[in-house]
Amino acid sequence: MLEVVRTAAGPEWLPACVRVQCSSSGWPTATRRLHGVRIEYDQPMLALGIPVPLLSIPVSITTLPAPGAQDVPPATDFQGSLRQALEPWFVSDLPSQQTAAELLWTTPRTLRRRLAEEHTSWRAVVNDLKFARAVERLQKGRTTIRELAEELGYADPAHFTRFFRKRAGVPPSAYREQVARGEDLARRSRA
């Protein structure tokens, strides 16, 4: 992550603060490279303190995608940046608005204001991410509706079903059946 920011800021740039998830014993080599940088250990997430002006500098990074991975273009707006910052969190729970603001090195109030400038809200971004994850998981077909509802933070599968139906026009079970039928038709047409 540090090297990505240095691409835009220059090779001499160092963050004011680095937050790491491990204890100080896990970072002896890195701390020598970060002379003069405040390092906070045992934090809930890995984060760099990046000055706001650096966030507006476009950075071109070429990476090789993993086999089968989709190439995701870089975000062009604040909302897109927020979505890309939150996407990896779906392995566990989505972060709070406070944590998301810290990921983007801003305050919750500024986060809400910047989203409002783009005619959206925190809730809309979170719901879009939940819906995208639901569609992805339903297309793979390996998760029950109950498990998917729990994974996305719904205490009751009926609440998840209502949320999904509002977005897709059909309940998740019907969506999964449509995907399976489409795949079956595609297999038959190739045969």
pLDDT tens digit string along 147-178? Answer: 999 888 888 999 999 999 999 999 999 999 88
Alpha-carbon distance 191 to 184, whole Å?
Answer: 11
Distances (CA, A) of 108 to 75, 128, 174: 20, 19, 37
Helix (H) or strand (E) holding 187: helix 172-190
Range of the domain at 33: 1-54
Does residue 118 sit within a domain? no
Assess contact for 49 and 28: CB atoms under 8 A.
Answer: no
Domain-embedded: residue 22 = yes
What is the value of pTM for the model shown?
0.56
Which is more confident, 123 or 38? 123
Structural domain count of the chain: 2
Domain membership of residue 66 (yes or no) is no
Q: Which residue type, as a one-letter code, is found at position 166?
A: K
Question: What is d(CA 161, CA 47) in angstroms, rounded to the nearest whole number?
Answer: 35
Residue 59 placed within a domain: no
Confidence check: pLDDT of 62 > 90: no
- DSSP string covering 97-159: HHHHHHHTTS-HHHHHHHHHHTT--HHHHHHHHHHHHHHHHHHHT-S-HHHHHHHTT-SSHHH
- Assign 93 a pLDDT band (cuts: 50, 70, 90): low
**Averaged pLDDT, 15-44:** 69
Residue 154 within a domain = yes
Q: Which pLDDT band holds residue 121 (cuts at 50, 70, 90)?
A: very high
DSSP designation for 68: T
Residue pair 55/84 in contact by the 8 Å Cβ criterion: no
Give domain status of residue 132, yes or no. Answer: yes
Report if residue 75 sits inside a domain.
no
Domain boundary among 54, 78, 96: 54
Query: How many C-beta atoms surround the C-beta of residue 178 within 10 A?
Result: 13
Tell me which residue of 190, 187, 139, 188 sits closest to 164, measured CA to CA. Answer: 139
Domain boundary among 14, 38, 54: 54
What pLDDT is recorded for position 30? 53
Q: Which residues pair with 17 in a beta bridge?
A: 38
CATH code assigned at 162? 1.10.10.60
Distance of alpha carbon 49 from alpha carbon 163, whole angstroms: 36
User: Is 21 a residue whose pLDDT tops 80?
Assistant: no
**Does some domain include residue 80?**
no
